[in-house]
Amino acid sequence: MVLDKNHPIPLYYQLVELIKERIQSHELKPGNQLPSERGLSEQVGISRMTARQAVAYLVREGVLVVKPGVGTFVAEPKLAHNVLHLLGFTEEMMQRGGAATSRVLEQAIVMPSLQVATGLNLVSDETAIKIVRLRLSGEIPLLLETIFIPTTLCPGLEDEDLAAKSLYTLLEQRYGLHLSRTRQTLEVTTANDYERYLFDIELGAPMILLEGVTYLDQDRPVEYFKAIYRGDRFKFELESQRNVVDEAHGAPRFSLVWT
């Protein structure tokens, strides 16, 4: 690996990009161990502090993982989630050849908050079924989801075993609810103390918040959801087209909004 010390791009960032290139070209594979900070600094002719800065940057991005007392390793590739495809976590993991498990943290009939009731078009005395699940791949917690569904649409859902079943498959096959579209927002956030505990990550670690409403064919809201994804284990796929209009709603199929 050769760095250009006369280039305006900082040396640590040049090293970051070189390591990423070696991973993308499969010279470095998931599980491969990197040289120590001293070894890296000697290889490319930089200080150990600069090498440490590059490694720390890649660890924060989830590209590398540090095993205390052992060394620094190439992390497993991030899971790709396509936010434009209306798939549940279980369905998406199965499509990718993986296995999904769930830990149900809460499942009960509740009086929803005003925000949830408004999103689901519920009147003041209507209840919703609240489902909170920690979703895992193997033993690794990947996302925490909180879902509200109108009780009148799914009687008995509060008693279903949602640790072993796909919620979307259950909605369609048992309740005859055909999911049509979702409207959602995506933003970057950080792990609070509860999320730090659930995911076994550092307080303030980068997370991705996905929040929105899922609709039936007749544009009736059926699900209000909030999902917190680990920022170091996920990336989101988006596809947008210029001047393409959704005929049903007379608006672009996808848009980005900065606030």
Q: What does DSSP assign to residue 33? A: B
> What whole-number distance in Å separates Cα of residue 210 and Cα of residue 251?
21
- Do residues 119 and 213 lie in contact, with contact meaning Cβ atoms separated by under 8 Å? yes
Query: pLDDT tens for residues 51-81?
Result: 999 998 888 877 888 888 899 998 877 655 4
Model pTM score? 0.64
Q: Which residues contact 160 (CB under 8 A, 6 or more apart)?
A: 170
Residues 90 and 204 in one domain: yes
| Higher pLDDT, residue 244 or 43 | 43
In this predicted structure, what is the pLDDT of residue 139?
Answer: 81
Residues 121 and 39 in one domain: no
Which of 129, 145, 107, 171 shows the shortest CA–CA distance to 225? 145
Mean pLDDT of the 74-96 span: 55
3-class secondary-structure state, position 184:
strand
Residues 59 and 164 in one domain: no
Q: Is residue 1 domain-resident?
A: no
Residues 90 and 209 in one domain: yes
> What whole-number distance in Å separates Cα of residue 25 and Cα of residue 225?
38
In this predicted structure, what is the pLDDT of residue 241?
Answer: 64
Last residue of a domain, one of 21, 47, 74: 74
Last residue of a domain, one of 19, 40, 74: 74
> What whole-number distance in Å separates Cα of residue 148 and Cα of residue 141?
21
In this predicted structure, what is the pLDDT of residue 3?
Answer: 81
Residues 65 and 101 in one domain: no
Q: Which residue has the tokens 């250009």?
A: 4
Query: pLDDT tens for residues 13-53?
Result: 889 989 988 888 888 988 899 999 899 988 888 899 999 99
Confidence of residue 120 (pLDDT cuts 50, 70, 90): very high
> What whole-number distance in Å separates Cα of residue 166 and Cα of residue 174?
12
Residues 226 and 119 in one domain: yes
In this predicted structure, what is the pLDDT of residue 104?
Answer: 93
Q: Is residue 3 domain-resident?
A: no
Q: Is residue 26 domain-resident?
A: yes
pLDDT exceeding 90 applies to what percent of the chain? 35
In this predicted structure, what is the pLDDT of residue 80?
Answer: 56
Q: Looking at the 3D structure of the chain, how many domains does it have? A: 2
Q: Is residue 234 domain-resident?
A: yes
Query: pLDDT tens for residues 123-159?
Result: 989 999 999 999 887 788 888 999 999 999 999 999 9
Q: Is residue 69 domain-resident?
A: yes
| Higher pLDDT, residue 224 or 24 | 224
Tell me which residue range forms the domain holding 178: 79-252
Confidence of residue 95 (pLDDT cuts 50, 70, 90): very low
In this predicted structure, what is the pLDDT of residue 256?
Answer: 38
Residues 49 and 139 in one domain: no
